[in-house]
Chain A
Amino acid sequence: MLAGNPNCGKSSVFNQLTGLKQKITNVPGTTIENKVGKLKLQNTTIELIDTPGTYSFNPKSLDEKEAVRVFFEDPAPDVILYIADAANLKRNLFYFSQLAQHKIPMVLVLNMLDIADFKGVEINTDRLEKELGIRVFKINARTGMGVEDVKKALIENQFVPHYEFGTELDHTHESHFSSINKLLNKTTVVKTKRELVSGKIDKIATHPILGYLLFITVLFLIFQSVFMLAEYPMNWIESGFSILSEYLSNVLPDGWIKKLFINGIIAGISGVVVFVPQIAILFFFMTLLEDTGYMARVSFIMDKMLRGLGLSGKSVVPLLSGAACAIPAIMSTRNIENWKDRLITIMVTPLMSCSARLPVYTLLISLAVPSKMILGFMNLQALILLAMYFLGTIAALAAALVFKWIIKHDLPSYFIMELPIYHTPRWKNIGITCWQKSLSFVTEAGKVILIVSMILWFLASYGPTKQNTFAVQETQNLETSYAGHFGKVIEPVIKPIGFNWKIGIALITSFAAREVFVGTMSTIYSVGDEENFDQIRVKMHNDTLSNGKPVYSLAVVLSLMIFYAFAMQCVSTLAVVYKETQSWKWPTIQFIYMTVLAYVSSLIVYTIFQ
Chain B
Amino acid sequence: MKLTELHIGKVARVVQVNDSPFKEKLQEMGCVSGVLIKPIMKAPFGDPIAYELEEYTLSMRKNEAETIEIQPFDPLLNL
A522 at the interface (CB under 8 A from B): no
Chain A hits for B28, CB < 8 A: 55-56, 58, 94-95, 173
How far is it, in angstroms, between the C-alpha of A415 and the C-alpha of B57 when the chains are bound? 13
A417 within 8 A of B: yes
A211: chain B residues within 8 A (beta carbon):
44
Bound-state CA distance A173–B60 (Å) is: 19
Is A366 part of the binding interface, using a Cβ–Cβ cutoff of 8 Å? Answer: no
Q: Is A411 an interface residue (CB 8 A)?
A: yes
**A526 interfacial contact with B, CB 8 Å:** no
Contacting residue for B48 out of A173, A304, A412, CB 8 A: A304
Report whether A173 and B44 are in contact in the complex, using a CB–CB cutoff of 8 Å.
no
Taking the complex as formed, is B66 at the interface, i.e. its CB lies under 8 A from any CB of chain A?
no
Interface size of A in residues (CB-CB distance below 8 Å): 46
Residues of chain A within 8 A (CB-CB) of B26 are 416
Q: How far is the CB of A275 from chain B (nearest CB, A)?
A: 35
What residues of chain A lie closer than 8 Å to B53, measured between beta carbons? 91
Asked if A543 lies at the interface with its beta carbon under 8 angstroms from chain B, I say: no
Residue of B nearest to A307 (CB): B61
Interface of chain B residues 1 through 55 with chain A (CB within 8 A): 20-22, 24-30, 32-35, 40-45, 47-48, 50, 53-55
Interface residue A156 (Cβ < 8 Å from any Cβ of B): no
Stretch at the interface among A33-41, A82-90, A357-365, A527-535: A82-90
Contact A303 B50 (CB under 8 A): no
- Give the CA-CA distance A208 to B28 in the complex, in Å: 30
CB pair B32–A174 under 8 Å, yes or no, is: yes
CB-CB under 8 A for A416 and B22, given A55-B28, A58-B28, A88-B56: yes
Answer whether residue A237 sits at the interface, using C-beta atoms and an 8 A cutoff: no
CB atoms of A303 and B21 under 8 A apart: no
Closest to A199 in B: B40
A5-45 at interface with B (beta carbon < 8 Å):
none
Any B CB within 8 A of the CB of A148: no
A87: chain B residues within 8 A (beta carbon): 55-56
**Neighbouring B residues of A178 by C-beta, 8 Å:** 34
- Asked if residues A91 and B25 are in contact (CB atoms below 8 Å), the reply is no
With A174-B32, A202-B41, A301-B44 known to touch, is A416 a contact of B56 (CB < 8 Å)?
Answer: no
Distance to closest chain A CB from B60 (angstroms):
5
Residue of B20, B28, B43, B47 with most partner-chain A CB within 10 A: B28
Contact A304 B59 (CB under 8 A): no
Asked if A419 CB lies within 8 Å of chain B CBs, one says: yes
Asked if B29 and A416 make an inter-chain contact with CB atoms under 8 angstroms apart, the answer reads yes
Highest count of chain B CB atoms <10 Å: which of A94, A199, A419: A419
| A212 CB-CB contact with B under 8 Å | yes
A301→B43 contact, CB < 8 A: yes
Complex Cα distance, B78 from A305, in Å, reads 40
Q: Mark A535-554, 1 if CB is under 8 A from B, else 0.
A: 00000000000000000000
Which residues of A in the span 414-440 have a Cβ within 8 Å of any Cβ on B?
A: 414-421
CA distance A89 to B53 in the complex (A): 12
Residues on B with beta carbons closer than 8 Å to the beta carbon of A206: 41-44, 50
**How long is the Cα–Cα vector from A55 to B32 in the complex, in angstroms?**
14
Interface residues of A (CB under 8 A from B): 55-56, 58, 60, 85, 87-91, 94-95, 119, 173-174, 177-178, 181, 198-199, 202-203, 206-208, 211-212, 296, 300-301, 303-305, 307, 313, 337, 411-412, 414-421
Task: Please list 20 pairs of residues, one from A and one from B, whose beta carbons are closer than 8 Å in the complex, sorted by A's number.
Answer: A55-B25, A56-B24, A56-B28, A58-B28, A87-B56, A88-B55, A90-B54, A91-B30, A173-B28, A206-B41, A300-B48, A300-B59, A303-B43, A304-B44, A304-B45, A305-B45, A416-B29, A417-B60, A419-B57, A420-B57
- Using CB atoms and an 8 Å cutoff, list the residues of chain B in contact with chain A: 20-22, 24-30, 32-35, 40-45, 47-48, 50, 53-61, 64
